Structure 1
Amino acid sequence: MSTTRTHTRSRTALRRAATVTALAAAGLFGAAGIASAHVTVHPESYAKGATDGVLTFRVPNEEDSASTDKVQVFLPTDHPVLGVLVHPQDGWTPKVTTTKLKTPVKTDDGTITDAVSEITWTGGKIGAGQYEDFDVAFGQLPDSTNQLMFKTLQTYSDGKVARWIEAPTGGEEPENPAPVLKLAAAGDENAAPTASKGDSDAAPKAAATSGDSSDSTARGLGVAGLVVGVLGLAAAAFAILRGRSTR
């Protein structure tokens, strides 16, 4: 075999390996981008009527040339979340808006006529490639619905507003999905642990479990992408050595 043909085969093998590696990397980063592009609530589910828990709203910044400087989360009032408290967030100033309920809610502590309908955080900054977690404690979740949708507006320093307000339809995720918390019947395996008054850490632990699961998935994708890339480069090296041995 001529030296020219050997070099040609080597270059072809290298190009193929590079293509495989590039595609693997593109798929990896594409999947990561899809998974983290929109505002989400954690944990993803709770038991109906759960008490004394925490919801974490994760807000990623998806703009390269602007930072997020305002976040507005709207809480439903048709199925209100009772006893809302906002956790202090370094650099951010929260504003809590309450609304009079059309239908008061009867509890063991009395009748509730007002509930939080909006929480707005301002004054902070989420830079490119970063995210911020906003923790909201609650006294009680409703038991009269299967899910809660928290419409969210994310404002950037350049004036752009990302409107995470769309509800899922037909099992498909919309382009701008709102954070959705699923509510399962007590005892359902899909429900997050209900925090009791003596165990205020139960909800954060559930949120951490959800985050760990996402991290594991991301790590799995990363390993898979690296394996594919290494296999591609190994194939190229084998082709080069084989070509040299046949000169």
Structure 2
Amino acid sequence: MKTSRVSFAAALAAGAVLVLSGPAFAHVSVQPGEATKGGYATINFKVPNERDNASTTQLEVNFPVDQPLTSVMPQDIPGWTVNVEKTKLDKPLTVHGKQVNEAVTKVTWSGGKIEPGRFQQFPVSVGKLPDADQMVFKAIQTYDNNEVVRWIEEAKEGAAEPQTPAPVLKLTAAKGDDHHDAGAKKTDDAKNAKDGAAKDGKHDEAAAKSSDTTARALGIAGIVVGLGGVAFGVASRRRTS
């Protein structure tokens, strides 16, 4: 009897863990979760089916209007129909030298089915990504039993993850910036090496001139001493005679 109670308690605890952790790993998300600022990327909206008795039949993704993207191109998915909605911009954007007056604000996939225990990815090519830390896409998931789950809650710093968090795409600095810094450092290093070599060359040249002057002085001194010896020898012979 005691063993049965322990087993029941363990099973209950495990079930509670699964229930509590379910929303943390089964929500609609962006894959991969990072992209480069100012660039273009292909992202996937990953949609798992959280229900055991219903299938997902529609996904609606809202794009942030304060971070307009001029290029949003969904990839065709067999069995699904995609609809792209645009809105007119209050302030036109200039892209590749051309003015853009509209931006995509919503993409909706419908007509397909994500059955229980399955997930589906919805690929989209997007750009030009803004110079910001992140983009938040509010998504609405609809089931064939008319249940609607709104993944629209934004996470707050220091707070627990919301029950139905909105998909978030983090934006990072371009790697080219790092390459530029590295190139500048290499240029500085090369310049320093060149300057050092020039200084060493001047030092060697000065040392060589100093050595040459010393050698000449010693040579002249030797000649003088030699001439003095010759004169002394001649004088000695005259005295002897």
Same fold (TM over 0.5): yes
Distance 2:21 2:157 in 1: 24
- Given the alignment of the two structures, is residue 95 of structure 1 paired with residue 83 of structure 2, yes or no? yes
| CA offset digits 1:126-151 (Å, max 9, x no partner) | 111211110001242112x2211111
Q: Which residue of 2 aligns with 1:55?
A: 43
Contact 1:92–1:122 at 8 Å: present in 2 too? yes
Distance 2:151 2:116 in 1: 18
Distance 1:23 1:187 in 2: 49
Q: Which residue of 2 aligns with 1:26?
A: 15
- Given the alignment of the two structures, is residue 175 of structure 1 paired with residue 147 of structure 2, yes or no? no
Aligned-pair Cα RMSD in Å: 2.3
Partner AA of 2:26 in structure 1: A
Contact 1:61–1:127 at 8 Å: present in 2 too? yes
Q: CA deviation at 1:119?
A: 0.6
Q: Which moved more, 1:26-35 or 1:124-133?
A: 26-35
Q: Which residue of 1 aligns with 2:101?
A: 113
| TM-score, L = length of structure 2 | 0.65
Q: Which residue of 1 aligns with 2:184?
A: none
- Given the alignment of the two structures, is residue 46 of structure 1 paired with residue 14 of structure 2, yes or no? no
Contact 1:146–1:182 at 8 Å: present in 2 too? yes
Q: How many residues align?
A: 175
Contact 1:61–1:129 at 8 Å: present in 2 too? yes
Q: CA deviation at 1:95?
A: 0.5
Gapped regions of structure 1 (runs ≥ 5): 1-10, 189-247
Distance 2:145 2:19 in 1: 25
Q: Which residue of 1 aligns with 2:141?
A: 154
| CA offset digits 1:177-223 (Å, max 9, x no partner) | 110111122249xxxxxxxxxxxxxxxxxxxxxxxxxxxxxxxxxxx
Distance 1:116 1:101 in 2: 10
Q: Which moved more, 1:58-67 or 1:169-178?
A: 169-178
Matches within 5 A, 1:217-236: none
- Give the structure, 1 or 2, with the largest relative contact order (CA under 8 Å, sep 6 or more): 1
2:124 to 123, 131, 136: 136
Contact 1:92–1:124 at 8 Å: present in 2 too? yes
Report SS of the residue matched to 1:84: strand
Q: CA deviation at 1:69?
A: 0.8
Partner AA of 1:185 in structure 2: A
Q: CA deviation at 1:14?
A: 6.8
Distance 1:37 1:47 in 2: 26
Report SS of the residue matched to 1:63: coil
**Which structure: larger Rg?**
2
Distance 1:176 1:27 in 2: 19
Contact 2:23–2:163 at 8 Å: present in 1 too? no
Q: CA deviation at 1:120?
A: 0.6
Q: CA deviation at 1:34?
A: 3.2
Identity %: 42
1:83 to 71, 84, 87: 71
List structure 1 runs of 4+ shifted beyond 6 angstroms.
none
- Given the alignment of the two structures, is residue 127 of structure 1 paired with residue 115 of structure 2, yes or no? yes
Report SS of the residue matched to 1:98: strand
Report SS of the residue matched to 1:114: strand
Q: CA deviation at 1:171?
A: 3.4
